[in-house]
């Protein structure tokens, strides 16, 4: 399910162990990312 959440909701989900998917490019991902997030670029 895709949904928009705010930072507080994201922190709650992170604390529960929810997996985060990052769809940005690799060069963006290596600069800043959520620890443990999985990179799956859209391109």
C-alpha of 17 from chain center = 12
Residue 12 located in a structural domain: no
pLDDT at 42: 93
User: What is the number of structural domains in the chain?
Assistant: 1
Residue 5 located in a structural domain: no
Closest among 31, 13, 6, 24 to 39, alpha carbons compared: 24
Residue 1 located in a structural domain: no
pLDDT at 15: 95
pLDDT tens digit string along 1-43? Answer: 667 899 999 999 999 999 999 999 999 999 999 999 999 999 8
Residue 3 located in a structural domain: no
C-alpha span between 23 and 17 (Å, rounded):
19
pLDDT at 2: 66
Residue 43 located in a structural domain: yes
- Is pTM beyond 0.75? Reply is no
Contact yes or no for 29/15 (Cβ under 8 A): no
Residue 41 located in a structural domain: yes
pLDDT at 1: 65
Look up the domain containing 23 and give its range: 19-43
């Amino acid at each position: 399910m895709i949904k928009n959440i705010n930072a507080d909701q994201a922190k709650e989900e992170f604390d529960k162990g929810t997996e985060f998917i990052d769809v940005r490019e690799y060069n963006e991902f290596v600069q800043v990312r959520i620890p443990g997030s999985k990179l799956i670029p859209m391109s």
